[in-house]
A and B are shown apart, each in its own frame.
Chain A
Amino acid sequence: SCDFAPSGSFSPFRRLPLPAKRKYMRSPLSPEMATQEVPLNETLAHLKTESETLKLKLEEERAKLHDVELHQVAEKVEGLGQFVMKTRRTLKGHGNKVLCMDWCKDKRRIVSSSQDGKVIVWDAFTTNKEHAVTMPCTWVMACAYAPSGCAVACGGLDNKCSVYPLSLDKNENLAAKKKSVAMHTNYLSACSFTNSDMQILTSSGDGTCALWDVESGQLLQSFHGHAADVLCLDLAPSETGNTFVSGGCDKKANVWDMRSGQCIQSFETHESDINSVRYYPSGDAFASGSDDATCRLYDLRADREVAIYSKESIIFGVSSVDFSLSGRLLFGGYNDYTINVWDVLKGTRVSILFGHENRVSTLRVSPDGTAFCTGSWDHTLRVWILMC
């Protein structure tokens, strides 16, 4: 078992570096290819040179604007004092590792999914379980609450994303109303409803992301560009337009235009798999958490990494990240069972939280920012607040 591995993949199905042919991605043949070997090789070499030149140019352009560090700009900002955050609710009921969770917009309900195939909807105030569904597969790695609060989506090793309408009748069998929406050719790693209950965005071990119509199950747009499993995604805050960010085993974070399917920006500074990505509340930046034990901040308008949140003493991977409401704090759930709280502007750690008895696998701040919830391989979820 890999419980104590400092970095690298934990799951048996997580692909190790793919062969150069990018196994899970389609490469359609172009009709003009029926020419001789020699001209093809020349064109290939020419294109390789061009791509190398473009990459260098991209780095040069980014470097020109690197006039200062974020923490230098933030030197005059008042430092944050002592932070005491405590668990105020512990949700017990999963029989195995909790893999994912999401908040309902009502700020009190939570959906969570686990390795044993169970998806549970909780009232976090009372800790009561309101609904429970058993999926036909294990490792339910993704779950999400619909904006209306009337449905949840989930999926994992079944390669699908299914939507379950939540009934007011607690005795009703939720599984009966299940709707299969997304179909990938490998595991589902993350899912999110867009602004309405009508569309779902998914990411998969097949290297792609996709946008689906919930009602018809139709594929609306697919997003190709990652060279390996895509592990996470996050939608831009609605005010900032139709984009989303994804992170993958290729160490890249890609920003996508949802309408065109185009990758508009790409960042490759992490040294290992990116397990989690989350937009800064203003939509102008996003944070990532990786198996390389660091969290990083990328500014979209400067088009580069602007901060790294790391310490020599932190050697275990980050599974999940989220911002507090103002964006000043970045919470990271780690594989060493802890939560590290970072001052986003100054780059320093302001708190380390203990409590879970195994890896923290998922972390989300509540919709109004009053609390955050963590899920863990210790089978529990915890809701934390600031004590003051």
Chain B
Amino acid sequence: MTSNSSLSNMRRLVEQLKLEASVERIKISQAAAELQQYCLQNASKDALLVGVPTGSNPFREPRSCKEIKRIFDLLQRKKTWT
């Protein structure tokens, strides 16, 4: 019954469009101003935008540093035994 399902689909579409048309909207100038305000207010906390103090970003330290430190410690210990 193609025409039956088409009819019920169309009815649903019309209801959906009526719902979407009834949404309350604001002007872009206002919406844009608020998006911008949010950006500027939070900019100082954004580590990918302004960076964070050295030492407080755990990814900043390359993984290999830990390995070098470990080897260094081992060598130091070996030195004291000999």
Contacts and interface: CB of A to CB of B under 8 A. Distances in A.
B59 A306 contact: no
A126 B17 CA distance: 52
B26 to A, nearest CB: 5
Contacts of B17: 51, 54-55, 58
Interface stretch (A112-120, A154-162, A178-186, A279-287): A279-287
Contacts of B59: 88-89, 124-125, 370-371, 383, 385
B59 to A, nearest CB: 5
Interface string A47-59: 1101100110110
B27 A327 contact: no
Interface of A: 21, 27-30, 33, 37, 40-41, 43-44, 47-48, 50-51, 54-55, 57-58, 61-62, 65-70, 73-74, 77, 80, 85, 88-89, 108, 124-127, 225, 262-266, 280-282, 284-285, 299, 301-304, 306, 324-329, 344-345, 365, 368-372, 383, 385-386, 388
Contacts of B6: 44
Interface residues of B, number: 53
Interface string B1-24: 111111111110110111111010
B19 A264 contact: yes
- From B2, B58, B66, name the one whose CB has the most chain A CB atoms within 10 angstroms: B58
Contacts of B13: 47, 51
B39 A345 contact: yes
Nearest to A45: B10
A222 B42 CA distance: 36
A116 B43 CA distance: 40
A51 B14 contact: yes
Interface in B15-51: 16-21, 23, 25-36, 38-43, 45-51
